[in-house]
Amino acid sequence: MSEPILSVRDLSVVFDVKPAGAWPWTAPNKLHAVSGLSLDLQPGETLGLVGESGSGKSTLARAIIGTVPVTGGDILYKGQSLMQMSVQERRRHRRDVQMVFQDPLAALNPRMTVGDIIAEPLVTHEPSTPRKEVKKRVSEMMERVGLLPNLINRYPHEFSGGQCQRIGIARALILKPKLMICDEPVSALDVSVQAQVVNLLRDIQKDMGLSMIFIAHDLSVVKHISDRIVVMYLGRPMEVGPANAVTRQPTHPYTQALISSVPIPDPKAERARERPVLEGDLPSPLSPPSGCVFRTRCPIAQDVCAQDRPPMVDTGPDQTAACLFPTINQ
């Protein structure tokens, strides 16, 4: 196996949060957004991140691109630590790693034309590129994402949500990055448009040989585009494995609950199947449960689960789960 393009090692991201109405000298509380997360991303691979809101998916994405400070651990891009990069190396890293955001319209500057929005990264990182060449590359990228080049002088408010997301994808791809992070890129779109955007991302990823991190709530969407899946809960990985294995034979109780929440198209099968329901709400990251963070909602939790954090154990071929009582796949 080749060297990973991205490696996350025991990553922790902690924010200081002061209580409402607290005095200026009051010590802040610690919000553990990501805690002890490790993963590898291979060249040309799509890694899906799935979990409830508040599980740390977007924080992890922003830590990778450098907009969120890292509290502990390390992030390695092509074997080099992001924490030890110089200013020039950081600039090259920003060129190689691009991001597609959740809200397609809010991510675009309403005062700029579509052509200027897509060209902005190119003008920033390659300022010596002739204007004619810039316009040519922008037109080619618009065609690649399914937009007519004659729309180049229009503004974002003149486009639909799906078209705005295609503009965001074109902007992310104009520099031909090595890694693209998609932070819930289809959650604000209609179901039919979601399928179009996901298929577009999958085709582009294969054509350009991109590595991709795809963040979403919907496991069915993540399965469709991902090679491997990381299931997160309260900033920690619960299960990691190949997409088919995680979605068809989940071994962690949390993954099993997420799978059961995905409806089956067959009405009879949907009514007949047993559906485990998660009880209670997601605990506050300001005071996460001791031991296994999922134990307060876990249907098979025992007293021992409150003592120590469970390690990641093998539960199947290339599949691991952070559980003391996982379902083992033979």
Please write the tens of the pLDDT for every residue from 169-205.
999 999 999 999 999 988 878 888 888 999 999 999 9
Same-domain status, 256 and 166: no
Share of the chain above pLDDT 70, in %: 95
Q: Is residue 74 part of a domain?
A: no
- Alpha carbons 244 and 222: distance in angstroms, whole number: 10
Q: How confident is the model at residue 86 (pLDDT cuts 50, 70, 90)?
A: confident
How large is the average pLDDT for residues 239-267? 86
Same-domain status, 216 and 254: no
Check residue 96 and report its DSSP letter. H
- Could you tell me the residue range of the domain that residue 155 belongs to? 41-69+79-226
Same-domain status, 89 and 215: yes
Same-domain status, 93 and 141: yes
- Alpha carbons 237 and 36: distance in angstroms, whole number: 8
Q: How confident is the model at residue 20 (pLDDT cuts 50, 70, 90)?
A: confident
Same-domain status, 203 and 289: no
Same-domain status, 49 and 162: yes
Task: Return the closest-CA partner of residue 161 out of 111, 220, 101, 208.
Answer: 101
Same-domain status, 94 and 46: yes
**Per-residue pLDDT tens digits for 127-156:** 999 999 999 999 999 999 999 999 999 999
Residue 185: which CATH number? 3.40.50.300
Q: Is residue 308 part of a domain?
A: yes
Q: Is residue 236 part of a domain?
A: no
Same-domain status, 95 and 196: yes
**Per-residue pLDDT tens digits for 100-121:** 998 888 889 999 999 999 999 9
Same-domain status, 47 and 103: yes
Q: How confident is the model at residue 263 (pLDDT cuts 50, 70, 90)?
A: low
Same-domain status, 164 and 266: no
pLDDT of residue 85: 86
Lowest mean pLDDT across 14-28, 135-149, 256-270? 256-270
Task: Return the closest-CA partner of residue 231 out of 209, 208, 264, 259.
Answer: 259
The last residue of one of the domains, among 173, 195, 226, is 226
Q: Is residue 156 part of a domain?
A: yes
Q: Is residue 205 part of a domain?
A: yes
| Total of domains in the chain | 2
Q: Is residue 142 part of a domain?
A: yes
Q: Is residue 23 part of a domain?
A: no
Same-domain status, 57 and 172: yes
- Alpha carbons 214 and 201: distance in angstroms, whole number: 10
Looking at the chain, list the stretches that DSSP marks H as alpha helix, in order from N- to C-terminal side. 57-65, 87-96, 114-125, 131-144, 161-173, 191-208, 219-225, 243-248, 253-260, 267-272
Same-domain status, 202 and 277: no
pLDDT of residue 264: 67
Q: Is residue 57 part of a domain?
A: yes
Cross-strand partners of 212: 46, 180
**Per-residue pLDDT tens digits for 264-278:** 666 776 566 666 667
